[in-house]
Structure 1
Amino acid sequence: MRATEYAGIVAGLLSAVDPRVAGLVQAAQTLDNAVDTNAASIDQAIRDYQQRLEAIKDDLIDRALDMVPIEELTNQAKQTGLMDAYQLHAEATLGPLFLSVTSPAARLADPRGGALIAIGPMPPDTFQAKLEAGPVKGNGALRVTDTGVAGVISASIGVIEVAALASLARTPEGGPSFLAVFAAGFTPGLQFGFGFQISRIGGLVGVERAIDRDAMAAKLREGTLAAVLFPLDIGPSATAALIAVDQLFPPRDGSAVMGPTFRLSWLEVAGAGFASVDLAVLIQLPGPVIALVGSVRAGIPAVVQIRADILGVLDFPARTATVDASLVDSGVLGILTIYGDLAFAISWGASPYTVLSLGGFYPGFSPEPAKIRPLNRLGMALDVPIPGLTFRAEGYLAATSNTLQFGGRLEVGIDAGIASASGYLGLDAIIQFTPFHINADVVGGLEVKFLGHTFAGVRFEGQLDGPGPVTIHGRITVETFLKDFDWEHTFVFGEPESPPAIPPRRAVDVLVAEEFGPTNLRAIGGIDRSVVLSTPDRQGDFAVIAPLSGVLWTQHRVPLGLPVDRVDGTPLGTRQTVTATAPGKSGVERDRFAPGSFITLTKAQALASPTYDLLDAGIRVSAGSTLSGPDDDASSAPEILRKVRGEFRFSSLGLLLIASAFPEGVLGMVAQRDRPAVMVDVDVRVTVTPPPWVTTADGAHHSSATAAICRSLIVGGAALTAADAAHPVALGGL
């Protein structure tokens, strides 16, 4: 929020004609100008603004707290006054009922970095209540925002628990949207035998609401996702759940979300069991989009506790399936904490990919086109400080369509006061399948200190890279209190990779021999309903095309118009470019290609380049054009097999009389009857286009990362996005 915006709120609460308010507005404008220009006078502008605000502080607090309908809270808040961060907070106890109200502070971003600038208190937006009256216990919270209101309430009466969370907000079009989450728990639960029972049931209903899977994945690690869907366990996180509810299920016109929730537990006694799972099955329409949200708990109290929050989303329109999981509040023996994330993603749409990761990826690896949130390593560390001992162990395992990655790190330390010892061991490895390549880095060390100074130690670093050739590099450093000793050497096995000893061949010959035929052709364009294709007289495979249709030729071996040196990963011996054209060519057809299958990539390029890229795969030929094969005369026309129904044909005068007799709308529908169905009145809200790429050697622009990399192999230099090339980073002096 800008200072002038907040000053406008103050003017609405008090009086715009008050000279003190007018002075605050003027000081706010000065502060915004100083922030916008990053002027040296920012500190002075902040002091002037705060002096103006201090002059109206008491009146501002009174008007803000007049919105609170509880007199006890209002009186206490007025006595408390403004806090250091310009935030109000008040509490009051009315018999068995505890109440609190919070007013947040408006803040302004400081262009110099660091903490935000607090510019004043906002009206109260969060109200909380807690009831403890013998066997009846309950909690509640209410949060007011600019676009709506959200509230949560829970209560327990003996063995019965109930809870509900609701949100009312505005959609982007300004209409109302509503979300409700409700649950009930009972002890004992509904028994199924063998120790299994259902102890909680509930559901979710959202009108004009949608599922935001990115927000859900982000909330897994915080534990807020489970608190929103299973409000019986919301406890002290009520405020966080109210903030998260509109992020997880944002308002969206024409969309609805619904589904049941329940808890299945095993060996549960008095509300505590050895294992349980809270599961929500949510369906978003239209779509459909199906989301499974679960919170799995297992363990033995005081020994081991495991909780994993899981999110699975099956998106049929996008043709993707994802699974995200995070360990939350997990540990062993009360002294070790267990943490880590898991992610799985698969797409069978326009950008196919498969990615699985337990604990993250090899450093620097990007799993694009899959969008994977940053993942914590799977690990274990001391949760409770133990004097004289440090311990941490982390690891990861990841698999993509072309790589296998794994690694980890172990750190242990002992401190006995005057003497201490610490050591570490780490590994990062990646195996690329096509073309085959492996890289592994190993580091380790051990250090002993006496009175804070290194007495002895050893560090080593090793790297394995190959094939072509296999290179092993190692370095060892031995430290003593007298002198350090270093040893470094590189071992090379095999000869450097050289061009394959195969005769050069032509990529175009591969396409003509294997990809140019009826199986790679299909008809496109309109359909003539007056034409019925008859059975061909001759035998064999060939493409049959309707008279009003065009023809599409596609292949998936070599991208067209780019320099290539491989076909299906096999070297050609030379760099070649294949182009395709035909009389009447009306456009190109694009499809996904794996760059490693048609160009030789360096290790850095293999890691940075996309797994698949959208490139030219074929051509379109409009109706009535001539086609030529490898052995045909280019002037020969395709054979047309058709049978036309006999119909009475009107003269021009007859058509004129019909046109005058029928309404324009009817004639329009008749004219459209032979055209293919199209979508109309589609309001495109967001248009996303791939960023352009540039080769630094010649400054040429390219439509894809792969095209830029291919060009850089010829002219040299690097391939960068146009935005990065336009704003290079200066590393001088670093």
Structure 2
Amino acid sequence: MRALLGALAEVPVLAQLGADAESVGRQGIHGSVALGPVGLSVASATLVIHPPALTDGTGQPVSIGPFQIGEIAASLTPPFGGGSGKGLPGGGAIVRLAGQGGYGGILQLPLGPAQVSAAAVLAMRDGSPSFLAILGITFIPPIQLSFGFSLDRVGGIVGLDRTTNTEALRAAVRTGSAGDVLFAARPPDSPLALVTAADRLFPAHHGTHLVGPSLKVSWLSFGPTGSLLSLDLAVVVEIPTGRVVILGVARASIPGLPGVLELRLDLLGVIDPVEALVSVDASLVDSHALGIFEVYGDAAMRFSWGTRGYTVVSVGGFYPGYNPEPAKLPALRRVGMALDVKLPILDVRAEGYFAITSNSVQFGGRLEIGISLGLEAHGFVQVDAIVVFRPFRFEARVSAGFDVSAGGFSFGGVRLDGLISGPGPVVIRGSLTIETFLFDISWDETFTLGSGPADTLPTPPSLLDVIREELGDPANTHADSVSDPDVVLAPRPGRAGVAAVPPTGTLRFEQRRAPLGLLVERVDGRLLAGPQGVRVTTPGADVTAPFSPGSYAALTDAEALNRPPYDVLTAGRVLSMADPGLVTFPNVPDARTVTQIVISSGRPRVTGMGAFLDVGHMALLTDASRRPPTLSDPRPVVTAERETWVAWTTATTHGFDSATAAHQFARHHGTVAVTEADFETPVSMAGVL
């Protein structure tokens, strides 16, 4: 019984369900018991194989099992009425997450003018527990604010050792399941489906936690029949990464007239300071208009302020064949509408897109109409256009067609395709095709207008000039250390563009346009004339910062997949003034006398008087004053060091502090790069086929 029921085998009434061993072996465990207001039900399956009947009458069914219980359900009778105690609504359910070592549950309680709903997941991951709870209180009737607005719902999310799975959330926005989990936008198919979806969207992750509020605001609410406009919104903060996730569901409908207008827009916004990226994804879900049209489409926005900043905004996708890299966007559906109910004589579909990137504007659309009246006629018009700012270029495509058929036999059709591009020169190309059931006529012609040169990018920059420009930027240089153990500095107001540093302090130069100390192929998104590198030879400590290798090195697809997205590379240098030699100071006799007083055990004692001091006492006192108190063994228990790399040529071996620098050296010297640990202890491949 413990193998089948787990910890619930300790409940006496449940243990009685397996008292009949013969029945359990033949049918498994099935039954329910009442424990006060809680009703528990369990079920386990048994596989029964029926062999084919033999001529001698043998061939009895064979039972395999019973199997371990995969789901345990519980119903809670609400103390305030409104439920039957057999499940939702007005009750709850607890389910066992098979194979995950955890449980999930949902609860709904009607509390007079409020409806409380909750979903929770408690699971074990790698021996440690993780918890997730999604709460909500719906007001009946809504709390009226002003100007027709009302507060319909408040709630929140709490997660311990949980994180946000942004990729799963983006996929869930497309289907609407993200809004279903957080806002109960649609009733769940089952308690197990709800808690499983919540566990997938906010999975367990040791060391990160989630917290955030949610609410629903409506405008012109008509009670149970709905509202004209409504917005569900949740703000989830991930601690300690600082990532902020904003989830929303916006609806527009006409209460009392279902099907006339039903629009639902699911939205996901992510502010990720680690990736220096703001992203927004939106999708139309279960949207309809006029009772016969389905409305669909996706939109996305990406804004990056990292080492290679970019901005991309798209509603409905991009110009055919356009790649929005370095932004990573999923395939976007065109925004449009189509007949949701198939009419016997008419089929209509219209869709379009509009996009703005850091260097282009794109737009286009397509309209299709089909008519069936014995004869079937189909026609379409499509326009796609793109304008690139630098180098300036434009391209527009126009297509139109019309065909007539009956019973699958084509009587004829016409198709026109046009293209205009420029400048330098402006090229116009057109093609016309006329199809009949007897013959086809085709025409294709290209026209050229003007002969001016095309716009070109400026001369590739020099990496040395780029770094020189960064050196001249005051924002990249500031005082790094102004501490002086022998001097107390008086505070003074700062001056823009001036870094005040005492002779004992240090000056810090740091820039993010290009990494230093290695060969790079591009900078600011533009290819250089060839591989170039800049190295700082001034004495001082390196300043490191995270860089994206793909923004500066021409990586192959395999390298881009296997290299880390960010690597810590040299970004600048800490500069300090050289200490002058003692011989530069004049030797001036000092006739003053000094009294040395040593305080020991709270009692002062004069140990010397005159021009000479006991240097030994002074050294001991100074050293003791600077040492921290010894509370325990100061040696670290665990230490972490950066992995070092090596690459070699026929003459020598070169060491590197980063994988990117080692691979760039190997790329341009025809060799390979390995970690220093692997280089020092190579593995013999003798005898390996």
Report the TM-score range of the alignment, normalised by the length of the smaller protein. Answer: 0.5 to 0.7
2:254 equivalent to 1:292? no
Aligned equivalents of 2:115 and 2:463: distance in 1?
72
2:427 equivalent to 1:471? yes
CA gap 1:529/1:433 in 2 versus in 1, 3 angstroms: same
Aligned equivalents of 1:357 and 1:623: distance in 2?
49
CA gap 1:689/1:699 in 2 versus in 1, 3 angstroms: closer
One-letter amino acid of the counterpart of residue 108, structure 2: S
Q: What is the aligned partner in structure 1 of residue 236 from structure 2?
A: 282
CA distances 1:385-422 after superposition (whole Å, capped 9, x unpaired): 222332222222121222222222222212234x2111
2:182 equivalent to 1:229? yes
2:115 equivalent to 1:164? no
The CA deviation at 1:658 is: 7.0
Asked if structure 2 preserves the Cα contact closer than 8 Å seen for 1:257 and 1:285, the reply is yes
One-letter amino acid of the counterpart of residue 323, structure 1: V
Q: What is the aligned partner in structure 1 of residue 148 from structure 2?
A: 195
Q: What is the aligned partner in structure 1 of residue 209 from structure 2?
A: 256
Q: What is the aligned partner in structure 2 of residue 376 from structure 1?
A: 333
Q: What is the aligned partner in structure 2 of residue 136 from structure 1?
A: 83
Tell me which moved more, 427-436 or 216-225. Answer: 427-436
CA distances 1:75-94 after superposition (whole Å, capped 9, x unpaired): 9966x9589xxxxxxxxxxx
Q: Unpaired runs of 5+ in structure 2?
A: 5-20, 34-39, 51-63, 555-564, 585-593, 597-611, 644-657, 674-689
One-letter amino acid of the counterpart of residue 364, structure 2: G
Q: What is the aligned partner in structure 2 of residue 644 from structure 1?
A: none
Asked if structure 2 preserves the Cα contact closer than 8 Å seen for 1:165 and 1:231, the reply is no
Matches within 5 A, 1:283-682: 283-300=237-254, 301-417=258-374, 419-495=375-451, 497=453, 517=472, 519=474, 522=477, 529-530=484-485, 547=504, 549=506, 552=509, 579=534, 582-584=537-539, 620=573, 623=576, 666=629
Aligned equivalents of 1:470 and 1:423: distance in 2?
29
Aligned equivalents of 2:160 and 2:275: distance in 1?
22
- Aligned residues, how many? 565
Aligned equivalents of 1:75 and 1:578: distance in 2?
69
One-letter amino acid of the counterpart of residue 237, structure 2: I
Aligned equivalents of 1:284 and 1:306: distance in 2?
31
Q: What is the aligned partner in structure 2 of residue 209 from structure 1?
A: 162
Match of 1:70 among 18, 29, 32: 32
Aligned equivalents of 2:467 and 2:511: distance in 1?
12
Aligned equivalents of 1:422 and 1:692: distance in 2?
60
SS in 2 for 1:425: strand
One-letter amino acid of the counterpart of residue 216, structure 2: R
The CA deviation at 1:303 is: 0.8
Aligned equivalents of 2:142 and 2:416: distance in 1?
58
Aligned equivalents of 1:333 and 1:456: distance in 2?
34
Tell me which moved more, 65-74 or 424-433. Answer: 65-74
One-letter amino acid of the counterpart of residue 364, structure 1: G
Q: What is the aligned partner in structure 2 of residue 633 from structure 1?
A: none
The CA deviation at 1:489 is: 1.7
Q: What is the aligned partner in structure 2 of residue 152 from structure 1?
A: 106
CA gap 1:175/1:471 in 2 versus in 1, 3 angstroms: same
Asked if structure 2 preserves the Cα contact closer than 8 Å seen for 1:507 and 1:567, the reply is no
Say which one has the larger Rg. Answer: 2
CA distances 1:365-395 after superposition (whole Å, capped 9, x unpaired): 3333333333222121122222233222222
Normalised TM-score (structure 2): 0.65
Tell me which moved more, 541-550 or 326-335. Answer: 541-550
Normalised TM-score (structure 1): 0.62
Aligned equivalents of 2:466 and 2:288: distance in 1?
59
The CA deviation at 1:305 is: 0.6
Asked if structure 2 preserves the Cα contact closer than 8 Å seen for 1:582 and 1:621, the reply is no
Match of 1:125 among 55, 67, 70: 70
Aligned equivalents of 1:433 and 1:159: distance in 2?
58
**What percentage of residue pairs aligned between the two structures are identical?**
33
CA distances 1:285-336 after superposition (whole Å, capped 9, x unpaired): 2243333322222112231111112222333454433322211111012221
CA distances 1:709-734 after superposition (whole Å, capped 9, x unpaired): xxxxxxxxxxxxxxxxxxxxxxxxxx
SS in 2 for 1:313: strand
SS in 2 for 1:356: strand
Asked if structure 1 preserves the Cα contact closer than 8 Å seen for 2:45 and 2:66, the reply is no
Aligned equivalents of 2:26 and 2:231: distance in 1?
44
One-letter amino acid of the counterpart of residue 181, structure 1: I
Q: Unpaired runs of 5+ in structure 1?
A: 1-11, 14-58, 84-118, 602-611, 627-636, 641-646, 673-677, 704-734
Aligned equivalents of 1:64 and 1:663: distance in 2?
79
CA gap 1:256/1:239 in 2 versus in 1, 3 angstroms: same
CA gap 1:524/1:385 in 2 versus in 1, 3 angstroms: same
Aligned equivalents of 1:232 and 1:505: distance in 2?
54
CA gap 1:442/1:667 in 2 versus in 1, 3 angstroms: farther
Asked if structure 2 preserves the Cα contact closer than 8 Å seen for 1:163 and 1:232, the reply is no
Q: What is the aligned partner in structure 2 of residue 713 from structure 1?
A: none
SS in 2 for 1:253: coil
Larger fraction in helix = 1
Aligned equivalents of 1:386 and 1:518: distance in 2?
67
CA gap 1:394/1:617 in 2 versus in 1, 3 angstroms: farther
